A and B are shown apart, each in its own frame.
Chain A
């Protein structure tokens, strides 16, 4: 591995194929929208671990089909599987369950394309999601979320070094099993840096700043957090790749609480693992 890495360093990166940037930044999404006519099936798992006390592990997996019908638009849709393993966490019921969590669709529009003369690319995306299982608690709910993001990236060194940036606004409304209606929103942004160490391997790091509100219009601030972690992208074959990322909360605060970190709205750690096959 080391010797092949040394060979890779000696390689001229200008001879490498251009890389699709959508998945090289971990939780941060790049601007890529795929190739016209391309179809892809993916399994995309997001794990969340660690609350203030007890044991907390939850995951949500997207079973996803995506396709690119034009050179500017990408569409994705699929089902969500959710799993929860919770015990002795303050404010949450103990639970051990696996369930069909809901469904989602995503629409991506490439607003600014990269060329050899312009290193910046920007994509606008919306992702409506319906859930029957609450992401955090695992309770039966009716939840509707409308994630909107700006996905931008810059090629800093040709075929080698990339920076990615996301802006996020994610309002949601939840009707609980008791009939209560809760409105909330998450907003924030990220910055990521990814270095292509071999033609098919990209390593990097990212930082997220997230704010949570108990209102969709961002008026009832409840807390914020900073998450930081490494990212990995591996292209196994021209048609198959994986991406992985791990973020840990390095700073956070909850309104009205003197404790460090925000473990009410966010988790101590989150992990992403995605496998994709194109055809």
Chain B
């Protein structure tokens, strides 16, 4: 009984994870290229189509690490100095999604999904 319950719980978690992951992986992601220089995102305002996964490619040109983070996108990633980081985001509903550098309060940007 305990083993069956454990299997059912694991199956449910797996099913939920598949529901969320599979569509994103199956569709072609919209790529958004950002550079981070002198403590600012370039460009700071970007857009993407709704209901398609998104892939941010962030090139950090500064001499110190930055952390690409967004509460509404529910992602975070540290990008080391002089390197590039990739952040994959689920297919999004229309709206405005803010992002920022968690190490630098002045570095802000926003993604508009239409």
- Bound complex: CA of A17 vs CA of B73, how far in Å? 13
Partner of A35, one of B21, B69, B97, B103: B69
**Which residues does chain B contribute within 8 Å of A72, judged by CB atoms?**
16, 20, 90
* Contact B13–A107 (Cβ < 8 Å): yes
- Bound complex: CA of A33 vs CA of B72, how far in Å? 11
Q: Is A20 an interface residue (CB 8 A)?
A: yes
* Contact B21–A70 (Cβ < 8 Å): yes
Q: With both chains docked as a complex, state the minimum distance between the C-beta of A239 and any C-beta of chain B, in angstroms.
A: 8
Q: Is A252 an interface residue (CB 8 A)?
A: no
Name the interface size band of chain A: 20 to 34
With A71-B90, A116-B96, A117-B95 known as contacts, the answer to whether A18 contacts B75 (CB < 8 A) is: no
23 contacts between A and B (CB under 8 A): A18-B72, A18-B98, A33-B74, A36-B74, A36-B75, A36-B76, A37-B75, A38-B76, A69-B17, A70-B17, A71-B90, A72-B16, A72-B20, A73-B16, A73-B17, A107-B13, A109-B16, A113-B93, A115-B93, A115-B97, A118-B93, A238-B102, A239-B102
B-contacting residues, A65-123, CB 8 Å: 68-73, 107, 109, 113-118
**Which residues does chain A contribute within 8 Å of B105, judged by CB atoms?**
17
Proximity string of chain A (107-148) to chain B, C-beta cutoff 8 Å, 1 when within and 0 when not? 101000111111000000000000000000000000000000
**Which residues does chain A contribute within 8 Å of B17, judged by CB atoms?**
69-70, 73
- Which residue of chain B is the closest to A239 with respect to CB atoms? B102
Q: Is A19 an interface residue (CB 8 A)?
A: yes
A-contacting residues, B40-71, CB 8 Å: 69-71
Q: Is B89 an interface residue (CB 8 A)?
A: yes
Q: With both chains docked as a complex, state the minimum distance between the C-beta of B20 and any C-beta of chain A, in angstroms.
A: 5
Q: Is A230 an interface residue (CB 8 A)?
A: no
With A71-B90, A117-B95 known as contacts, the answer to whether A34 contacts B74 (CB < 8 A) is: yes
**Which residues does chain A contribute within 8 Å of B75, judged by CB atoms?**
35-37, 71
- Which residue of chain A is the closest to B67 with respect to CB atoms? A238
* Contact B71–A18 (Cβ < 8 Å): yes
Beyond the given pairs A19-B71, A238-B102, 13 more chain A to chain B contacts, judged by CB atoms under 8 angstroms and listed by A's residue number, are A17-B105, A18-B71, A35-B75, A37-B75, A71-B74, A71-B75, A72-B16, A73-B17, A114-B72, A115-B92, A115-B94, A118-B93, A238-B103
Q: With both chains docked as a complex, state the minimum distance between the C-beta of A259 and any C-beta of chain B, in angstroms.
A: 41
